[in-house]
Amino acid sequence: MTKPKPSNDEILDIATRTFSEKGYDGARMAEIAKAAGVNKATLYYRIGDKDILFTAVLKRIFGTKVGQLEEMLKTPQSAEAKIHEFAKILVLGEIPEQFGAIMLREIANGGRNLPDEVLPLMGRTVGVLEEILASGQKDGVFKPINPFLLHMALVGGCSLYATNGPIRRRVAQMAPKDSAIHKELPLNEAANHIAEMLLGGIRITRN
Amino acid sequence: MTKPKPSNDEILDIATRTFSEKGYDGARMAEIAKAAGVNKATLYYRIGDKDILFTAVLKRIFGTKVGQLEEMLKTPQSAEAKIHEFAKILVLGEIPEQFGAIMLREIANGGRNLPDEVLPLMGRTVGVLEEILASGQKDGVFKPINPFLLHMALVGGCSLYATNGPIRRRVAQMAPKDSAIHKELPLNEAANHIAEMLLGGIRITRN
DNA sequence: AAATGGTTTAACTGGATGGTTAAAATGAGT
DNA sequence: ACTCATTTTAACCATCCAGTTAAACCATTT
């Protein structure tokens, strides 16, 4: 019956979920405070205004992803395996849909609410992919392709699939019975499949 | 010096741009009215409330895309060429970024503002891609893959690239000088490159 | 030129929302 | 137990915003 006062980190958890579901404009400070179990003024006292809160959310979520990517980069797997890992890291995690939704929306927004501080983190995700591709090319197993466009297709495809569940199910109801849209794939399998398709265009094939 | 009163279609043009730039929550009815050169009440009189306006915008933009896709489907090109066309249709058009931005945001939103009427149109874009793939498989040139995931990667990749210009340029400023992010690709080339990568994973290769 | 009916307008409303404040509660150090 | 800084709270405020209203406007008909 007691309510242990939530840590700042727990507040950020709630804020992350709210922003990922409603977007920056759609999220309400009062709503976040209530969901976190703190008074609205406490939220302002502890963390700050909406911009500061959003920045904190972005820094933490992108920071976590970049950390996982850097770790993965150090492992001794093949470049090809690392592409698969890259896709899985994007799409999985404690809170799968959230990263994708926030990323998609921020991009669609032209980064209107994106503070400078998170830009290096976004840039680093591209950088990691570039390093994987460069190493694959050095080993003579990858073609030269535009890493940034691969990044778009990989991130776009995985994030879209990770977040489109609600719409997908609504569309599925009115789609032909034999449509592929009815197949509910777990996120990691979807990420694998997308990565595999793209690897088909990257891998050097002798023919 | 005279101001010819804008047609409903011109109002929809403005509304489409506003919604694509700001999103549903970020767009202001007063802003749309002013930009279109009509009184706010006129906007309500002529079209209706925010939901009705948004629905009209969605129906028109998705309807146009689906129309173009259906036309393309009828042409006598190879399945492979049609995949390329598919990507180009998504990303090009009178108002390139708008479709992508609206689509990405709607998906990230879980379709909170998406009316039932546009679902068949969204479903049809997947359907068109499925038909292309089926025909390619019948001709023995395509592997069996999950069409829905191809759709994700293609739409996601192209839409992301089409809309991420502003962020990309900001990230580029703090990226290493040799990063692929600095290369400014025209949209149709980017769409081609992404389609080509994915085709690598679709095409049947003898090896 | 008066009546009619569709269209546009400025002004307004009610409720929500981001942000503030002053006072109360809490707790650590003495 | 007292002091003082930190934290929490309820109440408050100014602004914004979707949507409405009643009057004005204009074209056509009679």
Average pLDDT over residues A190-194: 95
Tokens 């190493």 correspond to A135
Give the dihedral of Cα atoms B44, B50, B52, B58; nearest 10 deg.
Answer: 130
Residue B29 domain flag? no
Cβ pair A107, B97 in contact under 8 A: no
Mutate to test the interface with B, among A20, A98, A171, A202 (most CBs of B within 10 A): A171
Please measure the distance between the N-terminal and C-terminal CA atoms of chain A and give it in whole angstroms. 69
- Considering Cα of A45, then A46, then A48, then A51, what sign does the dihedral take? negative
pLDDT tens for chain B, 207 residues long, are 345 778 889 999 999 999 999 999 999 999 999 999 999 999 999 999 999 999 999 999 999 999 999 999 999 999 999 999 999 998 888 777 899 999 999 999 999 999 999 999 999 999 999 999 999 999 999 999 999 999 999 999 999 999 999 999 999 998 888 888 898 999 999 999 999 999 999 999 855
- The reported pLDDT for the residue numbered B109 is 92
Counting the structural domains of chain B, the total is 1
In sequence order, what DSSP letters do the residues of B1-21 get, joined into one string? ---PPPPHHHHHHHHHHHHHH
Residue B52 domain flag? no
- The answer on pLDDT for A2 being more than 50 is no
Q: How many whole angstroms separate alpha carbon A119 and alpha carbon A112? A: 12
Distance from CA of A5 to the nearest CA of B (A): 30
Supply angle C-alpha B95, B50, B22, rounded to 5: 45
Interface subset of B 91-150, CB within 8 angstroms of A: 100-102, 104-112, 114, 116, 119-120, 122-123, 126-127, 130, 145-150
DSSP code, position A117: G
B76-86 in b/e form (b: 16+ CB < 10 A) is eeebbebbbbb
Give A146-172 pLDDT, tens digit per residue: 999 999 999 999 999 999 999 999 999
In 3D, which of A47, A50, A55 has the Cα closest to residue A106? A55
% of chain A beyond a pLDDT of 70: 97
SS3 category, A155? helix
Q: How many whole angstroms separate alpha carbon B9 and alpha carbon A164? A: 30
Cβ pair A102, A93 in contact under 8 A: no
Residue A190 domain flag? yes
- The reported pLDDT for the residue numbered A118 is 94
Average pLDDT over residues A68-92: 95
Residue B167 domain flag? yes
- The answer on pLDDT for A95 being more than 80 is no
Cβ pair B127, B62 in contact under 8 A: no
Instruction: Retrieve residue B167's tokens.
Output: 């962020």
Residue B10 domain flag? no
Alpha carbon B171 to its chain's center = 23
Q: Nearest residue to D19 (CA, C1')?
A: B49
A119 vs B174: CB contact, 8 Å cut-off?
yes
What's the CATH number where B160 sits? 1.10.357
Looking at the partner chain, which of A106, A127, A153 has a beta carbon nearest the beta carbon of B157?
A: A153
Look up the domain containing A180 and give its range.
57-202
Instruction: Retrieve residue A134's tokens.
Output: 């460069």
Residue A44 domain flag? no
Instruction: Retrieve residue A207's tokens.
Output: 């023919």
Q: How many whole angstroms separate alpha carbon B16 and alpha carbon B21? A: 9
Q: What is the mean pLDDT of chain A?
A: 91
Residue B196 domain flag? yes
Residue B39 domain flag? no
In 3D, which of A62, A144, A138 has the Cα closest to residue A100? A62
User: What are the start-end ranges of the H helices in A75-186?
Assistant: 79-91, 96-108, 119-138, 147-163, 165-173
Q: How many whole angstroms separate alpha carbon B16 and alpha carbon B39? A: 18
